[in-house]
Amino acid sequence: MNSIRRVVALFLVMVSCGPDEKPEELLSEDTMVEILVDIHLAEGFVQSLSIPYDSSKVLYPILERQIFEKHGVADSVYIQSLEYYLLDAAKMEYLYERTIDSLTLKEKITR
């Protein structure tokens, strides 16, 4: 998945950077999970469309912007929070376990 690659790349960049200072506007764990769920759903939606890759690269940022608007979060706040949580592997693993659980539950409900 595209977002997993971005998370791993971002993690590698963050590990090589300076101290892990807590951002001023840190998103709560619950908000992070909600946004991650929506991001994964958007990615799945875009991947399921029968459109060329370059078109999906145009569509996904639009959906991503809508996700941030839905949650009332600036993309920069999301990125700073993601970077912060990525510095703690156990915390990030926990957030992704919750994300996967939420996605699984949504899948069961729609069946």
pLDDT digits (tens, 9 = 90+) for 60-102: 999 999 999 999 999 999 999 999 999 999 999 999 999 999 9
pLDDT at 3: 62
The 10s digit of each residue's pLDDT in 12-53 is 555 555 456 888 899 999 999 999 999 999 999 999 999 999
User: How far apart, in whole angstroms, are the C-alpha atoms of residue 10 and residue 39?
Assistant: 16
Q: Which residues 6+ apart lie within 8 Å of 69 measured at CB?
A: none
> To which residue do tokens 């990525």 refer?
86
pLDDT at position 45: 94
Q: How far apart are CA 79 and CA 37, in angstroms?
A: 15
Q: Which of 56, 38, 39 is nearest to 47 (CA)?
A: 56
